[in-house]
Chains A and B, each alone.
Chain A
Amino acid sequence: MKNTALLVEDEMELAASLKLALKKLDFNVIHACNLEDARKELAAHDVRLVILDRMLPDGEGLDLCFELRSAGYDGGIVALTARSATNEVVEGLKAGADDYLPKPFSWEEFEARVHSVLRRA
Chain B
Amino acid sequence: MLATGWNYTIIAMAKHVASSSGQVRDLPWYWLIIGTLGFCIVLAGLIVFFVRLMREIRHNQLQSMYLARVTHELKTPLATMELSSSMLRGKNLEVSEAEQLWNSHQRELGRLKSNVDSLLLAARFDAKLFKPTRQLWSLEDWLQNEFGHWTNSLGDKIERQGPPLHGMVFSDAGFMKLITDNIIENARKYAKGTPKLKIQTSVVNRRGRSRWEIQFEDEGLGFDPTMEKKIFKPFVRAQATKTRSIPGTGLGLYLAASAAKKLGYRLYARSKGLGSGAVFVLEGDWA
Contacts and interface: CB of A to CB of B under 8 A. Distances in A.
Interface of A: 10-11, 13-14, 16-18, 20-21, 24, 33-34, 55-58, 80, 82-83, 103-108, 110
B83 A107 contact: yes
A82 B71 contact: yes
Given A82-B75, A104-B79, A21 B87 contact: yes
B242 interface: yes
27 contacts: A10-B244, A13-B77, A13-B80, A14-B80, A14-B108, A21-B87, A24-B91, A34-B243, A55-B72, A56-B245, A57-B242, A57-B243, A57-B244, A57-B245, A80-B79, A82-B74, A83-B71, A103-B76, A104-B75, A104-B78, A104-B79, A104-B81, A104-B83, A107-B86, A107-B91, A108-B86, A110-B83
A57 B239 CA distance: 12
Contacts of A55: 68, 72
Given A58-B242, A82-B72, A103 B78 contact: yes
Contacts of A24: 87, 91
Given A20-B97, A34-B243, A55-B72, A14 B83 contact: yes
A107 B89 CA distance: 10
A60 B201 CA distance: 44
A55 B237 CA distance: 15
A101 to B, nearest CB: 9
Contacts, number: 82
A82 B81 CA distance: 14
B144 interface: no
Nearest to B78: A104
Interface stretch (B17-25, B99-107, B206-214, B260-268): B99-107
Nearest to B108: A13
A1 to B, nearest CB: 23
Given A10-B245, A17-B84, A57-B241, A82 B76 contact: yes
Contacts of B86: 106-108
